[in-house]
Amino acid sequence: MNMNYTADELAFRNEVRSFLEEKLPADIAAKVKSGRRLNRDDHERWQQILSKQGWYATHWPKEYGGVEWSAVQKHIWDEESNRYGAPRVIPFGVSMVAPVIIKFGTEEQRQYYLPRILSGEDWWCQGYSEPGAGSDLASVKTRAVRDGDHYIVNGQKTWTTLGQHANKIFCLVRTNTEVKAQEGISFLLMDMDAPGVTVRPIITLDGEHEVNEVFFDDVKVPVENLVGEEDKGWTYAKYLLTYERTGLAGIGNSKAALEHLKGIASRQRKNGRPLLEDPTFAARVAQIEIDLQAASMSNLRIIASVEGGGVPGAESSMLKVRGTEIRQAISDLARRALGPYAQPFPEEELQDNYDGDYLADPHGAAVSPQYFNLRKLSIFGGSNEIQKNIVSKMILGL
């Protein structure tokens, strides 16, 4: 692989930098860089800015309003947007359900849902995990029973990220109990405001209301909301998960976090010298940087290998495992670098409207919450243990 950008790619990088310098709201970037929580308005403002630029659906076909960036362009955007402090794009609509609708949905579904995702009219969440079905999605028990022109849905989903904001949810539901588990699952699009849908918050260890439980009690869903064929949802779920796992690697996010870590370590002192000059600490930082560079190259190769419209297979599992381990390692070192200044801070200091002073160190307020929050990465999108099993079967043949 050529490690040098072409003239066109360098020009694109300059275009991205100019856009971020001009259009990224300073208040949003300040929140991202300091680890303050973003509210719904922040996310929607940024989405509208990206949509106006035409840079929201970077991987969609142009016929549906996408950009069709190359692998290198996506890589450049990921690095630069994280470096400037741009918020992550909420993936559930544009990066998760949309590719499934584009590939497996009807033209009517594409014409209805895709423009609403681009405009921000719909906010999607994901209904995969259940209390007894996390990494083992074949065990889902939420039932959808055909009743004329509708399905009647009963069951429960959990760990539904940002479900409190969503008006749509894509769900795996069991439509057939007489066949092998994977063969009786369907992929259903549902309204969150439909009668019988209840959302209950789950407050995580970092004090955040990020995830939820969602309950379905005799919820009526039109049959036309079925994506693809009935009982074939397992195929569509696997297709979606390859995109989720690649995104969870968070290469650009890790690069920005590594620079942040270096900044903390250069200010913190040990025996009168910057912590970054301590041989043991410096060696740990160097090892993470080496691992991150290797993951970055792997990410480029994986994306480039499917430019023709294919889907990453076990490679996405490999990248998910390594990428999440690196992100967790960076947050762990940041916590260690701050020492006692990384102690948990009052809840109000992480809110977007907090105007008080940070205690002790301006970088300390978010370090502990981020450390705790990022523990989930090795579980989201299929636990890392499951991903290692996938790699062993698909690549090693074990």
Residues designated catalytic = 244
For residues 178-203, b (16+ Cβ closer than 10 Å) or e, as one string?
eeebeebbbbbbbbbeeeebebeeee
SS3 161: coil
CA distance 165 to 167: 7
Single-letter residue type at 354: Y
Tell which residue, 328, 116, 129, 148, has the closest CA to residue 221: 148
Contact between residue 129 and residue 157 where contact means Cβ atoms under 8 Å apart: yes
Structure tokens at 177: 């109990």
CA distance 368 to 374: 10
| Full DSSP string of 165-202 | T-SEEEEEEE--SSS-GGGGEEEEEEETTSTTEEEEEE
CA distance 370 to 34: 11
Packing angle, helices 40-53 and 26-34, rounded to 10 = 120
